Structure formats: C-alpha cells, structure tokens
Amino acid sequence: MHQGHRINKIILDRSLFVSGLVVGAAALTAVFVAFLAITHLRAVRRSRKYRLLGELASEVNRAILFNEDEEIIFSTILDYAFRILEKVNLGSVLSFDPNGYLVIIASHGFDPDFVRNFRLRLEDTFQYRQSGGNISQAMIIEPEIIKGFADKLDSEGREYKSIISAPLFVGGRLYGFLNVDSVHAKRFGPADLALLKNLSGQIEVCLLARTRYRSSLAESRTDALTGLLTRGYFEELGAHAVKHATRYDLALTFGMYDLDGLKQVNDGLGHPAGDLLLVAAAKAISGTARKSDIFGRYGGDEFIAVHYNTDAKEMTERSLEKLKELRAAPLSFGGKEIAPSFSFGFADFPADAQDVAGLISVADARLYAMKSERKREADRKDKKAPAPKPAEERDHLPRGSVS
C-alpha cells in the first residue's frame, strides 16, 4: 500500500516537472517568437527606411538632371525625411540670404507668414549655441537649448521637445542647415541622427552637383571669347522664339552679322589681334540689341541675333549708326591701328520666312549682298584713283614735288 502511494507520488512529481518544463518551454517559445517578431518588424522598418533613401537619391538625381528649382528639390527631401524619421512635426532647410541672415527656403508644417518673416543670425542657431560656434556635424539638440528658441520655432505656440539639426556644406563653405522637429520628448536617437546625416548628405550632393551642372551648362551655352551664346544654344532659343511668335502672332527680326577683314588681321598681326577685333565687334554689334534680344556667335567671324519689337528697316538704321561709332574708334595692337567693321543682313518674321532656316537664309543673303556692294564700291574707288608712279620716276622727282 505504502509502496503504491510512493509510486503515485513519484509519477505526480515527474508529471508536474514535465508540465513545468512544457510551460517554461512554451513561455520561452512565446518570448522568442515575440523577439523574432520585433526583430522582423525592426528589420522591415529599417529596410523600408533604406528603400526610401534609395528612392530619394533617384528623385534628387532626376531633379538635378531636369534642372528643377531648388525649393522643389528641398521640399522633396523634407517629404522623405517625414516618411523616414516618423513622428516628425516640422522640417526646414535654411540658407543664408545676401545680408547674411538665415532664411527658410523649404519647409513642412510651418505657417507661410512665419516662413516669409523668418530671419535668424548664425549666432542664434541651435548648432552655434550647442557647439560654441564649432559647427561641423549633425547633432541632437539638448532640451536646454531648445527652450531658448520657443519664440523662433513656431508661430502657433506649439512646444517642441526634440530636434535634430544638420549643417549643410558646399565646397567647404557653410550653406545652411537641415532641421527636423518633434513635439515628443526624446524622440530621436543615434539611428535617427545617422539618417538625418544621410539626408543632409543628399542635399549637399544636390547643391554641389547643381553648382557644377550650372557651371558646365553656362560653359556649354556661352562662347568663351565673346561671352555671347554658342551657336547650338542660340538655335535652340531661336527655334523657341519662332514657335512662340507663330503661336501668338508676333513679329520678330533675325539678324546676321559678319566681321570684315578678320583673316587679314590674323595673317598680318596674329590671332591675338584677331581675338581683340572679335571681342570689340561682338560688343559693338550686341550694342544694337535690347535686353530681351537673343545674341550669339554663329561661326568664326559671324554673329546672329533675334531682335524683338522691331523690323529689318529699323535694325539696318541702328546697325549703320553702331558701325559709324565703331569705325571712329580704331583699336591699337602692337603699335598699329585696326579699324573694326562689319556687314549685316536682316529678315523679318513672318514676312520674309516662317522658320529659323528660312530666316537665316534670307538674312545671310542680304548680308553677302551688302559685302558684295561694298567690294564693288571699293573697286570703283580703286579705278578712279591715279596709278602710283614707278619707283625710278619717283626717285627723279625734285624735292618738294607732289606725286
């Protein structure tokens, strides 16, 4: 009897032990599953954030390629900042205005009037106060610093408790700041700081690429010697001008200009003298144009223009006046004088032609008609002039005689 009772007790104890093991294992399994779920969720969130960063890089590259406005690019970056960082209430990109004050050039969550009236000295920024003026990297702003900016953060009286601020540098120069703000305390941590550094890096790359793009674009569109538009860019703008004039029934005039005697100057005095002549002629010829006109260098010694609000007759008169001024002020090179001169021809749209090729053809024909007429006139003068006496005859002339 006692022995049976002992056996039953042993069986019960073992059952309880096994049950305990099962319950413990179940609990551990639940904890492990929860841990896996949390880990998976974090991995999904992390993956989503990096996917968004990849999307942002593509968006920024596309915006730079299409030369979009900086405000559009920065607003796009702020959109992604809100999606990536989460629980962000305000975002802004600041840059320096011509007077040295920081202004908001892109924002999310701010009142428009507040944005328009915002002006801030560098010495009053989060970064400057927290770093003691040693601005170099993104940082989570301390609560004590934030409290001193309550009146500068928002026009609606909301209290912001967490802020990350990242400086923006372009070519080693401080351009401005990227800031994101939250009403939640201790909202941002090291991971958020790293993400904002990535976002600020995107802006810096955008600014640098845009600066270089604009520089290379200007170089490709501008003739290095004369500062006028290149032929390719002129043709692009000229085609647009004709298309616009066609659509709105407007008149305009194409002008072709050709510098006279460039080859003789290059051959006699060298190309530096020829360059001097080209620059002087370009300045004089473009002086016939209004600010709204389009002016370019068409070839070696040829220039081309689209003139608005005028016609061929008026442009001929203006060009003759400019030619008279140019000839009255000869250039000096190597102790010798160079008298600049140019020929020209004009074609009116739509009277003379209805497309760019036709307008250039008419203007060019009139230019060469002018050159031909000048040559005939010069030939007639040469025929009327007395022939020079042979050298032997001149040698026997008495002193004081006029040959």
Indicate whether 213 and 243 sit together in one domain.
no
Query: What is the tens place of the pLDDT at every residue in 211-225?
Result: 777 777 777 888 989
Indicate whether 83 and 188 sit together in one domain.
yes
Identify which of 311, 317, 315 has the alpha carbon closest to the alpha carbon of residue 351. Answer: 311
Beta bridge partners of 167: 177
Task: Write out the residue range of the structural domain in which residue 155 sits.
Answer: 64-219
**Is residue 166 a part of any domain in this protein?**
yes
Residue 253 CA to residue 346 CA, distance in Å, equals 7
Indicate whether 235 and 185 sit together in one domain.
no
- CA angle, corner 311, sides to 309 and 316, nearest 5? 125
pLDDT, position 20: 53
**Is residue 178 a part of any domain in this protein?**
yes
Long-range pairs, 155-163, Cβ under 8 A, ≥24: 155/110, 155/111, 155/113, 155/114, 156/111, 158/89, 158/183, 159/183, 160/89, 160/90, 161/185, 161/186, 161/187, 162/186, 162/187, 162/188, 163/126, 163/188
pLDDT, position 14: 56
Q: How many domains does the chain have?
A: 2
Query: What is the tens place of the pLDDT at every residue in 152-185?
Result: 555 566 678 889 999 988 878 899 998 988 888 8
**Is residue 55 a part of any domain in this protein?**
no
- DSSP, collapsed to helix, strand or coil, labels residue 299 as coil
**Is residue 43 a part of any domain in this protein?**
no
CATH number of the domain that residue 181 is part of:
3.30.450.40
Indicate whether 148 and 199 sit together in one domain.
yes
Indicate whether 74 and 214 sit together in one domain.
yes
Residue 215 CA to residue 226 CA, distance in Å, equals 17
Indicate whether 214 and 269 sit together in one domain.
no
Indicate whether 250 and 375 sit together in one domain.
yes
CATH number of the domain that residue 321 is part of:
3.30.70.270
Residue 90 near residue 146, CB atoms below 8 Å? no
Across the chain, which has 403 residues, the per-10-residue mean pLDDT values are: 55 52 49 44 60 70 65 80 80 91 90 90 92 91 80 61 88 88 87 82 75 75 90 90 86 93 87 90 86 89 92 94 88 84 94 94 95 83 62 40 32
Indicate whether 237 and 215 sit together in one domain.
no
Boundary (domain end) residue, out of 219, 239, 260:
219
Beta bridge partners of 182: 162
**Is residue 25 a part of any domain in this protein?**
no
pLDDT, position 57: 66
**Is residue 364 a part of any domain in this protein?**
yes
252 DSSP 8-state letter: E
**Is residue 194 a part of any domain in this protein?**
yes
The label of the residue with tokens 């601020």 reads 165
Q: What angle, 0 to 180 degrees and rounded to 10, lies between the N-to-C axes of helices 2-65 and 70-85?
A: 180
pLDDT, position 313: 94
Encoding tokens for residue 12? 């019960």
Indicate whether 76 and 204 sit together in one domain.
yes
Indicate whether 363 and 265 sit together in one domain.
yes
CB-neighbour burial class of residue 274 (10 A; exposed 0-12, middle 13-18, buried 19+)? buried
Indicate whether 379 and 356 sit together in one domain.
yes
**Is residue 15 a part of any domain in this protein?**
no
Residue 138 CA to residue 124 CA, distance in Å, equals 17
Indicate whether 209 and 253 sit together in one domain.
no
